[in-house]
Amino acid sequence: MSTSTSTSTSTSSPPSPQIAMLGLGSMNGAILAGLLDSAVNPEQVRATTRSAATAVQRAQQYGITVHAEQDDAEANRSAAGDADVIFLGVKPHGIVALAAEIADALKPGAVVVSVAAAISVDMIEAALPQGQPVIRSMPNTPLSVGLGVVGLVPGTHASAQDTETVARLLGASGAVHVIEESQIDALTGISGSGPAYAFYLAEQMAEAGVQLGLDRALAADLAAQTIYGAGKMLVAHQAAGTADAAGLRRAVCSPNGTTERAIHAFDDHGLPAAVQAAVNASAHRSAEITDELRSAD
Ligand SMILES: NC(=O)C1=CN([C@@H]2O[C@H](COP(=O)(O)OP(=O)(O)OC[C@H]3O[C@@H](n4cnc5c(N)ncnc54)[C@H](OP(=O)(O)O)[C@@H]3O)[C@@H](O)[C@H]2O)C=CC1
Ligand SMILES: O=C(O)[C@@H]1CCC=N1
């Protein structure tokens, strides 16, 4: 599989691995929603949360079995021990401890996929049995609606087949890029954190509409549909090689028209620098958390 290219979905019959989702918050929940919308059956999935209240809520939401680690100290080990693919979906500072907790319960060859920012492959591998396949990922929440982006970094013991299995699972709900670990902080700055940038833009567009006298629901719908349509159009044109973002932007700007005035306002208020600073801030924070957690060991 080549570096930084979207995987195409293979035409051979999809695998039906048993899946464990350890932690079922925003990110693992989004992955699960995407999996359940594709070829994965609820019976294939066991999940855990920390608290019983979350477990009950998530079991109802997704129609799967969810156990709370707070109530059942064996919950993570039991779910992981049955699984072929295990998604570690807790906060970064909890990933290594979670990997250590499940280590001797894992089936040999089961693939451990971390979704955490900043936790390097070697940190996870060090907590697991020698030879256990690990894949570090950076997904994003639009996987929940089939429009996600995921970066995958295969670990030392992950085979091409392991990577293909995970790429196929996640590729049903988004674009998958197999990347080098040196690229993952930058990917985090663009696509991992990026949905929040789009949501923030939508918030501000809608707020401006309210300031101009629109009711909030109308302004919010106009902003959301515009970002959705523009994103879909951009993806289609980039895939076809017919236009890029700059070209599509220029096509909306009539000379001396409304959009040209708006883009000048963005430039006058420093939008290009602000966006680049934001992507850099996310990428650098990812690297910084890695350093913090390494030095805490
Ligand atoms: N949110 C995002 O957009 C993205 C997040 N990520 C990564 O995903 C990971 C999770 O983030 P996010 O989903 O936002 O966080 P959330 O707080 O939404 O979810 C964390 C989940 O982990 C559960 N949990 C905590 N400790 C344990 C434990 N010991 N055993 C089992 N479950 C446990 C929590 O249960 P409970 O609710 O009961 O406490 C909760 O379900 C992070 O590492 C983050 O870097 C990556 C890309 C994007
Ligand atoms: O904010 C975070 O740290 C996580 C990682 C990328 C998106 N959310």
Ranges of each domain in the chain? 19-184, 194-286
Q: Which CATH architecture has domain 194-286?
A: Orthogonal Bundle (1.10)
Whether the model clears a pTM of 0.90, i.e. scores above it, the answer is yes
d(CA 91, CA 96): 10
Residue whose CA is at the smallest distance from ligand 1 atom 18: 25
Q: Is 36 in the pocket of ligand 2 (CB under 6 A)?
A: no
For 78-128, the DSSP string reads HHHHT-SEEEE-S-HHHHHHHHHHHGGGSPTTPEEEE--TT--HHHHHHHS
* Fold equal for 19-184 and 194-286: no
Atom of ligand 2 nearest to the CA of 140: 7
Q: What tokens does 190 get?
A: 């663009």
Distance of CA 83 to the CA centre of its chain: 21
Report the range of poorest mean pLDDT among 152-166, 184-198, 264-278, 283-297: 283-297
CA-based nearest residue to 54, from 79, 87, 29, 34 = 29
Tell me what the pLDDT averaged over the chain comes to: 94
Q: What tokens does 146 get?
A: 């089939």
Q: How confident is the model at residue 297 (pLDDT cuts 50, 70, 90)?
A: confident
Tell me the average pLDDT across 27-53: 96
CATH fold of 19-184: Rossmann fold (3.40.50)
What was the ipTM of the complex prediction?
0.99
Residue whose CA is at the smallest distance from ligand 1 atom 14: 26
7-16 pLDDT, tens digit each: 433 445 555 8
